[in-house]
A and B are shown apart, each in its own frame.
Chain A
Amino acid sequence: MSIETKKYPVGMHPALPPPSGSVGPLRWMRDNLFSSVSNTVLTLLGLYLVYIIVPPFIQWAFIDSVVYGAESRKECLAIMGEDRGACWSFVYRRWGQFVYGFYPIEERWRVNVAFILTFITIAVVLVEKLRANKPVLIVGILLPVVSFFLITGNSLFGLVDVPTNKMGGVLLTLIVGLSGIFVSLPISIMLALSRISKLPIFSIIATIFIEFIRGVPLITLLFIASTLLSYFLPAGSNFDLLLRVLIMVTIFSAAYIAEVIRGGLAAIPTGQYEAADALGLSYWQSMRLIILPQALKISIPGIVGSFIGLFKDTTLVVIIGLLDPLGIGMAAISTTAWAGLSTELYVFIGLFFFIFCFSMSRYSLYLEKKLQTGHNN
């Protein structure tokens, strides 16, 4: 063996590779999966669970499933024959309803354009490089106005009016979810600042508002929006239902986020406030330059948690008769053609919400990492 024969001066022997078994996947598995008897048992149990759940699910959802060519559950079953997989045909056949609700088919391009514009806006708001460019930022912030006119229609531009009750599905979820998120954030910052304000009028009003809204379930607010409000409004007035829902959802999430932000404000050491005062900054300057950047950074996980909650809460609108994707799906599986496909529906809707909520949570993690200035580790 060459290693044995070659002579090296003392202390000059080159490093040998580590013994096999102390590096690589084997070592990792021994350390992490089989380090003790109980860990070994848990690992095997976990593998067994994966084995009994994942292959049958893949078999059901992909291999044995039917997407095209069936116009009812019966036809689905006929195509499948003996192997019973998922019948996704109702999602395929009603794709338009899932995405646009009952929005007129010939006008749906407007929604598509609005989707693209909204995507651009989100990109501008979220990506720092785009946001740093003033003109791009202004265009990005103005695009939602264009989307609004695209979706609701405007005679000036020759767009047919589409009443809001025609909107449903993903479109409805995005309208309620995104406008709730974007409008409630500034409101909640104002509420949080008011609540800790030294001026009693601000703090009392903000406290009453927050505690009242937080003390009432969202579903109650939606009921008020859909039925009770009509008693207070003058007879014959037509205050759009979707708008009422938007207002309720926005103030509901604003109240929650305000408390999250107040938590962030409370976590800022008094020294920071005093330092801002000592620099001679005005109240708004100190808030904008010193306090809020730190407080909001601390509050990110809580704020995004509220946003995710708000996004999922949009399914509650089905109770007051607005059809979000879940409502559209429930209506689909209650027809004679598609009855009995509840498993498929829930898997599909679950996936839809998972994609949106998971993206939000990943973005918040990225934001936290980026804003990490190293004070706390």
Chain B
Amino acid sequence: MKKLLPIAVSLAALTAMNVSASTLEDVQARGVLKCGVSTGLAGFAAPNDSGQWEGLDVDLCRAVAAAVLGDSEKVEYVPLTSKVRFEVLKSGEIDVLSRVTTWTFTRDASLGLNFAGVNYYDGQGFMVPKALGVTSAKDLDGASICIQTGTTTELNAAEYFKLNGMTYEPVPVETSAEGRSNYIAGRCDVYTTDASALAAQRSVFEDPTAHVVLPEIISKEPLGPVVRHGDDQWLDIVKWSHNVMLNAEELNITSKNLDERGANDKDPAAQGLLGTNEAKLGAMLGLDKKWAYNIIKQVGNYSESFERNVGKETALKLDRGLNALWTNGGIQYAPPLK
């Protein structure tokens, strides 16, 4: 059967030599958004038992699809490993990369990519058994620490201990599963990785309450969606799809009260968001009038997405922390929709 397949599709490939115009036009012509996500990371992107992708990163893909295509289900999820994610994005195989990618200077400046915002502020933390009685990372002098080799985690920990004049004994592990089993078996006193991943690991323990994540966060890991250089309109669309969710939370507009607020909302900011006033915000992005309405209606505001995927009601039980709105003591701050 496969003998025919190559011939048929190479012909199709050769005949389809249409020149790509813009990412927006490509996506609209295709009718589906190609979104690069994790191959599986609890709370951020993973397929559920019925095969639907779920997570905070997935919700960003859905928001962009709702804005561009009017339907948050029109997403083709492309699971990517961290090794290939940038190459796949640059080669045009996907339209947006939403895969817990840390925004760093080098990546932004040298890879030919643009970061379109931060949908989760993460940072490296430490987890210890409660029985150890440690309350601060400053007390960890001489501890043995399970660390994944070859990651920024390793460098961050080395720098942190050096800066604070402390020593530690690294226990190198290859995967998070190996780190977890080593930590549980007591081969290391401390387990370090990104705080959200620590929470995910802890949720699997038989007695999660017997372990604490120390308050010190020793690195900045702003995670956000990434797009290719050279298509500013598309960058704006992805950036504002995220900002709409933040603004909606700030205005207290949710997927549930959206229709009530609707036409009779006096707040000009809300009117802009709902597309009920004369300001044609969608048109400026090349989108229709209901782009923001569709995002909120189908995906929800940032708070809804956060609580549904990683919040207190989920197994991860993550605090809003840094990811609270700026009005609530966090640093999630979206420019106004005006």
Contact = CB atoms under 8 A, between A and B. Distances in A.
B76 interface: yes
Contact of A73 (B12, B83, B204): B204
Contact of B2 (A148, A234, A342): A148
30 contacts: A77-B206, A146-B1, A165-B76, A179-B2, A227-B84, A227-B88, A229-B91, A230-B93, A231-B91, A234-B17, A236-B26, A237-B13, A238-B13, A239-B10, A239-B13, A240-B9, A246-B2, A246-B6, A319-B84, A320-B81, A321-B78, A321-B81, A323-B79, A327-B39, A331-B39, A331-B46, A334-B41, A336-B42, A339-B42, A340-B180
Nearest to B17: A234
Interface string A328-344: 00111111110110100
Interface stretch (A38-46, A60-68, A89-97, A259-267): A89-97
B93 A241 contact: yes
B40 A334 contact: yes
Contacts of B14: 237
B2 A334 contact: no
A336 B88 contact: no
A227 B84 CA distance: 8
A345 B58 CA distance: 25
A144 interface: yes
B18 interface: yes
Interface string A141-171: 0001111100010000000000101000000
Given A182-B2, A243-B5, A227 B76 contact: no
B47 interface: yes
> Among the interface residues A226, A240, A321, which one has the most CB atoms of the partner chain B within 10 A?
A321
B1 A147 contact: yes
Given A144-B1, A319-B84, A337-B48, 9 more contacts: A97-B51, A105-B51, A148-B4, A179-B5, A234-B18, A234-B19, A240-B9, A318-B39, A340-B204
A337 B204 contact: no
Contacts of B79: 321, 323, 327, 331
Interface in B25-56: 26, 36, 38-43, 46-49, 51
Nearest to B52: A102
B306 to A, nearest CB: 15
4 tightest A-B CB contacts, nearest first: A144-B1, A334-B40, A179-B2, A148-B1
B16 A236 contact: yes
Contacts of A335: 40, 42, 46-48
Contacts of A327: 39, 79
